[in-house]
Structure 1
Amino acid sequence: MRRLLSIEFIKLWNSRSSRFLIIAYFVLLTFIALIAAIKFDIGPIEFHLAEQGIFNFPFIWHFNTYIAAVFKLFLAIVIVSMMANEYSNKTLKQNLIDGLSKKEFVMSKFLTVVMFSGISTVFIFVVSLVLGLIYSDFTEVGIIFSQLGYLLAYFLKLTAFFSFCLFLGMLVKRSAFALGFLVLWNILEGIVYAFLKFKVFDNSTIADSIAQFFPLNAMSNLIKEPFTRLGAVKSVAAQIGEEFTKNYAVQWYDVLIVTVWIFVFVYGTLFILRKRDL
C-alpha cells in the first residue's frame, strides 16, 4: 500500500498544475473561517454571520462539511488529470511493463482518492473544532462530539465523487472531456428526474425514490443543505406561514447507496483497463 501511494505521490508532486490545485484546495477550505468575519449593516441592524449560530456545536459539523464539499471540484481536476496524464505521458504502459499489475495500478489511484478524502475530512474536523471552540455557545463535550456522522458522510461523498472522476478519466482518457462528461451527467440526472416527476408519475415522491439512486444525486443526499436549520431562517419562514419538515440527518440508506457506487466506479475502472488495448 505504501509503495503504491509513494508512486502516485511522486507523479503528483512532479506536476506543477497538480501541486497548485492541491494547495489551492486546502487554502480554500481554510477560507471557511473567514465566514466568521462577515459583517454588514441593514439600516440600523448590524448583521454578524457568526452570531447566527452557524458555528455552534453540533450544527457546525453539518454546515462546514456542506460548504467544504463545494470545493471538491479542485481535487476532481487533479484526479481526472492524474488519469489522463497516464495516457499522454505513457506512464501507464511503462508501469505495467515495470511489473505493476492492472489491479495494483487501479488500486494505487483509488488509494490516492481515499487519501485525499481522508486528509480533507481531518482538515475540516480541525478547522470546525477550532471555529466551534471560539464561537459556539455550547462547549460541553457531549454536544461537541455529537453528529459527527456528517464527517463520515463528507468522507464518503468525496471518495465517491473522486472515484467517479477516476472512472471518467479512465473511460474518456482526456481530462477536459472527462470533466465535460461530468457536467453533462449532472445535467442528464436533472433532466431524467424532471421527466419522471412531471411526465411519468403524478407526484414527486416516486420520482424522488428513483432519483436517490442516481450517483451524483445520491452523493448530494448524504449532506442536505443546512441553511433552513438556522433559527433566523425558521423565524422568517414562520412569519410567512411556512414550516420546514426536512430530515437533515445522515441516512443509512444514503450511505449504503453511495458505498455501492464507490465499488461500481472502482471495479468499472478496472474492467475498462483490463479490456482496453494499451
Structure 2
Amino acid sequence: MYRLLSIEFQKIFKNRISKILVIIYFSLLLLLFLISNIEFELFGIPIRIADQGIFNFPFIWHFNTYVADYFKIFFAVVIVSMMANEYTYGTLKQNLIDGFTKKEVILSKFLSIIVFSFISTILVFAITLFLGLRFSSYDEPSIIFSQLEYVLGYFIKLVAFFSFCLFLSVLIKRSAFALGFLIFWYIFEFLSHGIIKYVFLKEKEKTDTLVDKIYDFFPFESMSNIVVEPYTRVNFIKTIGTQVGMGNLKDYSVHFSSILIVLCWIFIFIFSSYQLLKRRDL
C-alpha cells in the first residue's frame, strides 16, 4: 500500500501543473479564514458575515463543509489529467511491464483519492474548529462537537466525486473530454430534473415528489443530498424569510440513507474503472 501511494505522489508532485493545482486547492481551503471579514450591504443594511451566526457551533460545521466542497474541482483536474497522462505517455503500460497488476493500478489511484480527501477533511476540520472557537457564542464541548456528521459527509462527498472523475478518465482517456463530460452530466441532471418535474409533470409544490426521490439516486444529486445548502439557516436570510411569510421547512440533517447511496456509487465507480481497465488492451 505504501509503495502504491509513494508512486502516485511522485507522479503528482513531479508534474508541475498537478503540483500547482494541488497547492491551489489546499490554499483555497485556507480562504475560509477570510469569510469572517466579508462585509456587504443588503437593501441598504450593512451586514458583516461574522455577525450572522455562521461561526457559531454547531452550524459552522455545516457551513464550512458546504463552502469547502466548491473547491474540489481543482483536484478533480489533477485526477483526470493524471489518468490521461498514463495513457498518453505510456506510463500505464510501463507500470504493467514493471510488474503492477491492473488491480494495483486502480487501487493506487483510489488510495490517493482517499488520502487527499482525508487531508482535505482534516484541514477543514481544523479551520472550522479554530474559527468556531474564536467567533462562536457557544463554548460548551457538547455543542462544539455536535453535528460532526457534516465532516464525515464532506469526506464521503469528496471520495465519491473524485471516484467519479477517476471512472470518467479511465472511460474516456482524454482529460479535456472527461472534464467536459463531467460538466455535461452535472448540467444534464440539473436540467432534466427541473424539466421533468415542472414542465412535463407540471408539479407546483417544492416538497419532495416521486421525481425528486428518483433523482436522489443520481450521482451528483445523491452527493449534494449529503450536505445540503446552509444559507437559508443564516440569521439575516431567516429574518427575510419570516418577514415575507416563508417558514423554514427544510431538513438540513445528514441522513444515513444519503450516505449509503453515495457509498454505493463509490463502489460502482471504482469497480467499473477496474473492469474497464481489465478488459482494455493496452
Matched, 1:266 2:244: no
Compared CA separation, residues 170 and 43, structure 1 to 2 (3 A): closer
Q: Which runs of 5+ in 2 are unaligned?
A: none
Name the Cα RMSD after superposition: 1.5
- Structure 1: how far apart are the matches of 2:43 and 2:213? 45
Higher mean C-alpha displacement, 132-141 vs 46-55: 46-55
Share of identical aligned residues, percent? 53
Which residue pairs with 1:90 in the alignment? 90
Size of the aligned set, in residue pairs, is 278
2: distance between equivalents of 1:200 and 1:44?
40
Matches within 5 A, 1:111-130: 111-130=111-130
Q: How far 1:232 sits from its partner (Å)? A: 1.7
- What's 1:110 paired with? 110
Higher mean alpha-carbon deviation, 62-71 vs 31-40, is at 31-40
Instruction: Give the corresponding residue for 1:131.
Output: 131
CA deviation map 1:181-227 (0-9, x unaligned): 00111121123313431355464601100000000111111110001
What is the deviation of 1:47? 2.2
SS in 2 for 1:53: coil
- Which stretch of the first structure deviates more once superposed, 226-235 or 36-45? 36-45
Matched residue type, 1:162: F
Determine helix, strand or coil for the equivalent of 2:99. coil
In structure 2, the CA distance between the partners of 1:182 and 1:41, relative to structure 1 (3 Å rule), is closer
Query: For the residues of structure 2 that align with 1:181 and 1:274, how far apart are their CA atoms?
Result: 22
1:47-196 alignment runs, 5 A limit:
47-196=47-196
The separation in 1 between residues aligned to 2:50 and 2:91, in whole angstroms, is: 48
Distance in 2 separating the partners of 1:176 and 1:44: 44
The letter of the residue matching 1:156 is: I
| C-alpha contact (below 8 Å) 1:160/1:258 kept by paired residues | yes
Q: Would you say 1:229 and 2:254 are equivalent positions?
A: no
The 1-side partners of 2:64 and 2:133 are apart by: 14
Q: Distance in 1 between matches of 2:58 and 2:116?
A: 24
Deviation at 1:39, TM superposition (A): 2.4
TM-score (norm 1): 0.96
Aligned pair partner of 1:256 in 257, 260, 265:
260
Query: In the alignment, does 2:210 pair up with 1:217?
Result: no
1:213, 1:257 within 8 Å by CA — same for their partners in 2?
yes
Q: Kindly indicate whether the alpha-carbon contact (under 8 Å) linking 1:201 and 1:207 is maintained by their aligned counterparts in 2.
A: no
Q: Using the alignment, how far apart are the partners of 1:113 and 1:40 within structure 2?
A: 37
Q: Aligned partners of 2:3 and 2:92: how far apart in 1? A: 16
Residue 5 of structure 2: SS of its match in structure 1? helix
- The aligned counterpart of 2:25 is 25
